[in-house]
Amino acid sequence: MTTLHLPPDAAPAAPDDLSVWPASAARASGGGLSVAGVALTEIAERFGTPAYVLDEREIRERCRRYRRAFPDADVLYAAKAFLCRAVVRWIDEEGLGLDVCSAGELELAVTAGFPPERITLHGNAKSPHDLDAALRLGVGRVVIDSASEIARLAAAIGPRGTQRVMVRITPGIAAGAHEKIRTGTDDQKFGLSLTDGSAQHAIARILAQPQLELTGPHCHLGSQITSVKPYLAAVRRMVGLIARVRDTHGVVLPELDMGGGHGVAYRPGEAALDLGALADRMRTELAGSCAAARLPVPRLTVEPGRAVVGPAGVALYRVLAVKRTDERVFVAVDGGMSDNPRPALYGVRYAPRLIGRRSSAPPGRVTVVGRHCEAGDVLAADVDLPADVRAGDLLGVPVAGAYHLSMASGYNLVGRPPVVAVADAHARLLVRRESLDDVRARDVGL
């Protein structure tokens, strides 16, 4: 996949730019827009708003791009980006594995028919339920994240069982679009540090446990990384660690998981990680570093999540009100931070678009806000929409497939939106809208 990288001072995209929309997005008469041959206005009328739309073919094609870019590696879809039973099936059919972070994600995948041996479980604070589910269902790998997890996992396995494990390493590399999504630095909650020796100490303990079969290090640098360079630095440090394990313990680790965090463009003109360059340069760096250390090249694993499902998703909102103050124009919609907390968490910027009618009005600068009782409930600050935007209009937000519904909450009891799949000019419901009956069913206090 070739990605065009524009300079920071590139001219702003034209209002009609669809470069960050799914490849199947097409303009229609009257200002409409379709995805996979289905009009977004039709989806809004049929399923209501807010709603999430997933282009099935876009997801499948992005899986295939990863398989083509990494033909000799394992590609695991990072389920935390978004998971439902249909996505589980698509990922399975496209030949990817799964990376999960909880018993909930794991059990949903397995009960949907995904082979557990192609699943890796990780997380910085796995509960006993998480570990029990992993062992009961037979996951392929468990990624050990802390020293205390070693004895807990070994005890849960028992004296006659074994489990393949990896160990999450913090390499001391800063990468990612925001400090809250940088996980490769020291002094944060993930992994075991190379700098202070805790990684090396944990590896020695794992190797001493007969129930644990250590296959290699796991390294995840962060999220929304758009440069190849941090991955190359991390590869060198991981190969150095594998060499030290060989020299110290006489064990050659056969696997290396380099995690994910592959960045995508949320607005036209933004940079995205070049998948082809990443694959080529990571493969070259791994081979060269291993040759220098006189090591066989380990089996590589990568874990894309956002880069698979993010650009395949579109969020649909209905405008409820337009409020003009001396300094701003606020466009309030029927969703908000309950279905997309990312702008409030780390300032993500989107490019919403008016769909469903053609406007001849000039663009005006507005802030799209949600319906919740928080001043920080902002979905898109200082964006251009037609100056005549009004209540009843339909807005579409591209690149909405990752970390929206998976991070959704029940704030104000508004109910989480549905997920609708589109393919071959047909739409079908994947996840229904959360209702008040769902809320009442969980509330057992009377």
- What is the C-alpha separation between 225 and 242, in angstroms, rounded? 24
Structure tokens at 320: 């409820």
Contact 312, 423 (CB under 8 A): no
Contact 110, 134 (CB under 8 A): no
Q: Which residues pair with 12 in a beta bridge?
A: none
Nearest by Cα to 135 from 165, 111, 113 = 165
Nearest by Cα to 127 from 139, 118, 135, 115 = 135
Contact 284, 328 (CB under 8 A): no
Structural element, H or E, at residue 42: helix 40-47
- What is the C-alpha separation between 152 and 211, in angstroms, rounded? 11
Contact 44, 310 (CB under 8 A): no
Single out the catalytic residue among 63, 101, 219, 373: 373
Alpha helices in 118-228 (DSSP H): 128-137, 147-157, 198-207
| 407 secondary structure, DSSP code | G
Residues whose CB is less than 8 angstroms from the CB of residue 435 and which lie 6 or more positions away in sequence, other chains included: 415
Nearest by Cα to 167 from 194, 137, 196 = 194
Q: CA-CA distances (angstroms) from residue 308 to 66, 119, 216, 234?
A: 9, 17, 25, 22
Identity of the residue numbered 263: G
Report the 3 state secondary structure along 345-399.
HHCCCCCCEEECCCCCCCEEEEEEECCCCCCCCEEEEEEEEECCCCCCCEEEEEC
Query: Is 373 among the residues known to form the active site?
Result: yes
How many residues make up the chain in this entry? 446
Q: Is 313 helix (H, G, I), strand (E, B) or coil?
A: strand
Helix and strand element counts for the chain (H, E): 12, 21
Contact 354, 393 (CB under 8 A): yes
- Catalytic machinery residues: 373
